[in-house]
Amino acid sequence: MPDLVTLVPEKRQELTTEGGLDVKTQKTHIREAIKKIHAAGIPVSLFINPHIDAITLARQIGADMVEIHTGTYANAREDEQHRELAKVARSIAHAAEIGLKANAGHGLNYHNVTGIAEIEGIRGLYIGHSIISRAVLVGMEKAVRDMKELVMMACPVE
C-alpha cells in the first residue's frame, strides 16, 4: 500500500502538469476519490494552485495535505517572482491555519528553490526533474548534495 496518494490533474497531451486541480468545479469527484482512498487507510494530498479558496475547499472535502503548485513562481519573470512567492507563502500559512500539511513543488531548480525553501511551514519540496537533469552532468550524489545544501541554507535545521 502506498504511504500517500497525491491527486494531480493531467491532460493527455501534457508533457508535464500545467497547474493544480480545479477543486471548485471537481469537488464532488475529488471528494469521492478521497473517500475511496481513505477507506483503504491511505492519506490524500491534492496538488493545487496557490489560492486560498482552493486550500479551504481541499480541507472541506477531506484532504489531509496539499501540494502547492510553484510553477507560476518558477516561470515568472524576475520582477514578478516576489508576487508569486508571496502567493505561495500565504497559501502555506493558510493551510497550516486550517490544519492541513503543506508541500510545494513544480519547476523548482537550483536557481529558484531558496525562495520557496525559506517559507515557514512547508513540510516537503518536490524537485525531481532539476536534480535528475543535473545528475547527468555531475552524478546523482553531487546533484542531491548541492540541492540539499541550497535548501538547508534557506531553512537551517536547529
Listed residue (7, 27, 9, 6) closest to 18, CA to CA: 9
- Residue 156: is its pLDDT beyond 90? no
Entry pTM: 0.87
- Residue 51: is its pLDDT beyond 60? yes
Mean pLDDT of 58-65: 97
Listed residue (98, 3, 7) closest to 45, CA to CA: 7
- pLDDT, tens digit, 9 for 90 and up, residues 72-122: 999 999 899 999 999 999 999 999 999 999 999 999 999 999 999 999 999
What percent of the chain has pLDDT above 90? 80
Separation of alpha carbons 89 and 75, rounded Å: 17
CB 1 within 8 A of CB 42: yes
Mean pLDDT of 120-139: 92
Separation of alpha carbons 65 and 58, rounded Å: 8
Record: fold of 5-127? TIM Barrel (3.20.20)
